Structures are given as structure tokens and as C-alpha cells.
Amino acid sequence: MKKSERAEIILKELKRLYPSPPIPLDHTNDFTLLVAVVLSAQSTDKKVNELTKDLFKVADNPEKMVSLGITRIYGYIKQLGLSNQKSKNIYLLSKLIIEKFHSQVPNSFEELESLPGVGHKTASVVMSQVFNIPSFPVDTHIHRLSQRWGLTKGDNVIQTEKDLKKLFPKSEWNKLHLQIIFYGREFCTARGCDGTKCLMCRTLYPNRKKKFVSKKP
């Protein structure tokens, strides 16, 4: 089966399973989504949602976040991994948004990636979900599934993103990255499927007998 044929099967099945995938991180506006995505690095969306529920009640814009200060921000998110650095980043990016961007979340990759704690993947999520600009955020889960499904041979998320963008129509990118995440969580988990168990893996590689080992980014 050609790579393009696998891509067609994947797109069709994911559209059937997840026609309107929701954004998994709870938020109330552009700013709170940006903060939630920054906090989600090396943490689960579920845990982030638990902690930001209280944080966003008191700080749902950059001015209120700055007024909290680093120590109080840390108090809300201390259960997350890298919480010390994340507290500083959230405070500093809020301050920068006020001073440089007139309290508005910027809408370009260059400007977003100039903010503390915001890398390309985080910027891609914001561009995709806030501004509806075609982007293909690739995290470690999408990277893993893309390898399992034979969509990339890249050993890093940057190469995987390039390969996925070549394979799938631009109009599908914003939904597709969420659809892949939801499928991976529900059917093709890191431990629950080894490349031979879930329906997608069996369909794409019916003759695969051995466990598929992904290259970690």
C-alpha cells in the first residue's frame, strides 16, 4: 500500500469517528487557550484542565495574570511538571503581551514564538485553533502514530510535520491534528497498541506481525 493510500484511509476513518473534534484544553478566550497550551507541555490535558479551572477564575487576561505574580501563579499550577519554569513563563508572556501587543494574543508564528515558553508546536496550536490559520501541530503522540502508520520516517517532530503537510490537504490540517490525538488516546495508545492491535494499524499493515518500535523525537 502506498503512503498516499494510507493517508486516504486514515483521513476517511478519522472524519467518520471524529467529525467535529473539540479542543481538549478548557479555555474561555484566546489568552487562556495560549496559557493552557503552554502549561500542557509534559503534562496531560486532563491535569491542566483541573488546575486552570481555578486559575482562570481569577486571571483570564494578561493584566490579571501579571497582577497575580509568579509565586501565586505557581500556587495554582504546582502539581504540573516544570511548574517553576512555567510560572515564570506565564508571567513573562503575559507582561510581554501587554507591553508589546496591546494586550492581544499575537497572530503570527514569529510573534507567538517570541513569547517565553512558546515553541513552534504551541504557536501552531494557537494559530490553528484561535486564528483558524492552517497549521499542523505535531506533538510526541502524533509523531508516534505517524511512524506507526507509515506516514513519516522522520526522527523528529519537525520532519514529521513537513511529511504530514505534504500528505494531507491544507484544508484538513486544523481538524486532523486533533482527530489523530483523539484516535491515539482512544484506540492506539502507547502501551495498548504496538502497531498490530488497533483497527487502523491492522487495516494499514495487515501483514505486520512484529511490534513496531517508534523513534522517539
pLDDT in tens, 149-171: 999 998 899 999 999 999 999 99
How do residues 126-143 score in pLDDT, each as one tens digit?
A: 999 999 999 999 998 899
C-alpha 152: how far from chain center: 18
Q: Which of 84, 110, 129 is the last residue of a domain?
A: 129
Cβ atoms within 10 Å, residue 8:
14
| Boundary (domain end) residue, out of 81, 109, 129 | 129
| Grid-cell match 505535531, residue found | 138
**204: its cell numbers:** 494499514
Establish if 216 belongs to a structural domain: no
Please check whether residues 99 and 40 belong to one and the same domain: yes
What does DSSP assign to residue 23? P
Look at residue 155 in the predicted model and tell me its pLDDT.
86
- pLDDT 10s digits, 4-59: 999 999 999 999 999 999 999 999 999 999 999 999 998 999 999 999 999 999 99
Whether 209 is in a domain gets the answer no
Domain assignment of residue 213, yes or no? no
Please report whether residue 211 resides in a domain. no
* CATH classification of the domain holding 120: 1.10.340.30
Global pTM reads 0.91
Q: How far is CA 186 from the centre of its chain?
A: 16
Which of 184, 197, 189, 190 is closest to 13 using CA atoms?
Answer: 184
Looking at the fold, whether 102 and 165 belong to one and the same domain comes out as no
Give the per-residue pLDDT at 2: 93
Give the domain CATH number at 156. Answer: 1.10.1670.10
Asked if 145 and 198 sit in the same domain, the reply is yes
Cβ atoms of 25 and 48 closer than 8 Å: yes
Task: Please tell me the predicted confidence (pLDDT) of residue 217.
Answer: 64
Residue at which a domain ends, from 129, 160, 177: 129
Residue 46 shares a structural domain with residue 116: yes
Looking at the structure, do residues 12 and 89 belong to the same domain, yes or no? no
Are residue 59 and residue 120 in the same domain, yes or no?
yes
Give per-residue pLDDT as tens, 49-103. 999 999 999 999 999 999 999 999 999 999 998 999 999 999 999 999 999 999 9
Q: Which domain holds residue 197?
A: 3-21+136-204
Query: Domain tally for the chain?
Result: 2
Q: Of the listed 30, 86, 121, 194, which one is catalytic?
A: 121
Share of the chain above pLDDT 70, in %: 100
Q: Are residues 66 and 156 in the same domain?
A: no
Distances, alpha carbon 68 to alpha carbons 16, 91, 95, 141, in Å? 44, 8, 11, 33
121 assigned to active site? yes
Whether residues 41 and 123 fall in one domain: yes
Residue 160 shares a structural domain with residue 194: yes
Q: Quick check: is 161 in a domain?
A: yes
Print burial letters for 168-190: b (CB count within 10 Å at least 16), e (below 16).
beeebbbbbbbbbbebbeeebbe
Same domain, 55 and 11: no
Q: Are residues 105 and 39 in the same domain?
A: yes
Catalytic residue selected from 30, 139, 163, 194:
139
Same domain, 121 and 46: yes
- For residue 210, tell me if it sits in a domain: no
Residue 212 falls inside a structural domain: no
